[in-house]
Amino acid sequence: VPQITFSPRIRKSPFYEATVRDGVTDFTVYNKMLMPTSFGDLRSEYDRLLGGVAMWDVSVERQIQLLGPDAAKLAQYLSSRDLTNMVIGQGKYVAMCDHDGRILNDPILLKLAEDRFWFSIADSDMLLWCRAVASERGFEVHVSEPDVSPLAVQGPLAEDLLADLFGDLARQLKYFWFEETHLGDIPVVLCRSGWSKQGGFELFLQDGSYGDELYEKIKTVGQKYNIGPGAPNHVERVESGLLSWGGDTTPDSNPFEAGMARFVDTDTRVDYIGKDALQKIASAGPRRLLTGLLFDANAPSEWPLPERMPVTKDGTPVGTTSAIVHSHRLNRTIGMAQLERSIVEAGSAVELAGPDGVQRATPHPLPFL
């Protein structure tokens, strides 16, 4: 099997040593950094996420910090969502678009102070973009990638576990809200968030030298909840319809094609990059839509293919898939695809030509579950 060559260009997480001790078997590269994707038993990792609690090293979700008197102005100008009523301690899921309305990233934006924001980014070079825009606009703001590394604790038992560590704070936090706090000496931001729909938190470690200590602390307290290691779970995220930027999107996708329409404000007085383009797309209607695909029958086990696959309707190309998985809860092959809007709106049956024959599938609303 070919291997990835490690080098200083591929950064390691402060939890790297801890995940190796825990038996990590697979990594991907994300934001020029290694991210664990499996500990060797994906089915157990799924079951733990659905029925218990799992810990994921997601330090690859880097923070782009905006600090200074114009931080709020820059955060708004970069986000296609009206942030007027955003308060300190609140997180919001936003799209960052270019001037033509293409989606560049889909971060969670955290407001830590009136003059301090974090974009918790997906896999694209937003430090370059944010610095360039800040300078071109002449904004008085310092843009950096600070030493901050999120660690996700996900699953139905995550709240009990974190209440053991943080007391009532863990129970009181609302979805996407957060608080800057400490665990002993360890500086963290505790946020109710995470890339699953099973509930849970992310601890944004604010000093990488505590990586091992934080991981082991959660693992120790987590023993009574049978905590185990895991990673952002591909099967659960397709069932839940969570967007994977760069996977479900292509370089020219706009947020309406990526299922992010409800997070875009076109009818607003605030100004942001791409607003005119997004208004035009919104009134004309996007050409394609992100949709679930429900296969007529279970596809053979070699089908959950990592590549995009062409989708046709009566032989005519109508889009491509970005994920095909076997849903454990539906006991059916499901997928995600960007297809012509008319196909999605009509719910028309489509075909996919795979390794051993053609499979039929039907558009299905996201989330599946």
**Residues numbered 67-126 forming contacts with ligand THG, rule: CB under 6 A:** 93, 106-108, 120-122
Is residue 202 close enough to count as binding ligand THG by CB under 6 A? yes
Stretch that binds ligand THG, among 16-24, 191-199, 309-317, 352-360 (CB under 6 A): 191-199
CA 327 – CA 111 distance, rounded (Å) = 36
Residues 293-312 that bind ligand THG (CB under 6 A): none
Q: Is 150 in the site for ligand THG (CB under 6 A)?
A: yes
The two tokens of residue 318 are 């109508």
Counting contacts by CB under 6 A, is residue 177 touching ligand THG?
no
Nearer to ligand THG, 327 or 359 (CB): 327
Q: List the end-to-end C-alpha distance of the chain, in Å, as a whole number.
A: 35
Name which of 150 and 230 has its Cβ closer to ligand THG. Answer: 150
Q: Which is nearer to ligand THG, 120 or 359 (CB)?
A: 120
Which residue stretch of 66-74, 154-162, 194-202, 339-347 sits at the interface with ligand THG (rule: CB under 6 A)? 194-202
Burial annotation 330-341 (CB, 10 A radius, 16+ → b, else e): eebbbbbbbbbb
Cβ distance 86 to 249 under 8 Å? no
Residue 193 amino acid letter: S
Stretch that binds ligand THG, among 80-88, 187-195, 281-289, 316-324 (CB under 6 A): 187-195
Q: How far apart are CA 211 and CA 285, in angstroms?
A: 46
As a whole number of angstroms, the distance between CA 153 and CA 157 comes to: 9
Does 264 engage in binding with ligand THG (CB under 6 A)? no
Task: Please state the φ and ψ torsions of residue 228, each to the nearest 5 degrees.
Answer: -145, 165
Establish if 139 lies at the interface with ligand THG (CB under 6 A). Answer: no
Size of the site for ligand THG (CB under 6 A): 15
**Contact pattern for ligand THG over residues 32 through 71, marking x by CB under 6 A:** -----------------------------x----------
Closer residue to ligand THG in complex, CB, 237/352: 237
Rounded CA-CA distance 137/125 in Å is 19
Comparing CB distances to ligand THG, the nearer of 80 and 359 is: 80
CA-to-CA distance for 312 and 290, rounded, in angstroms? 15
User: Least CB distance from residue 191 to ligand THG, whole Å?
Assistant: 7
Residues lying near ligand THG in the complex (CB under 6 A): 61, 93, 106-108, 120-122, 150, 193-195, 202, 242-243
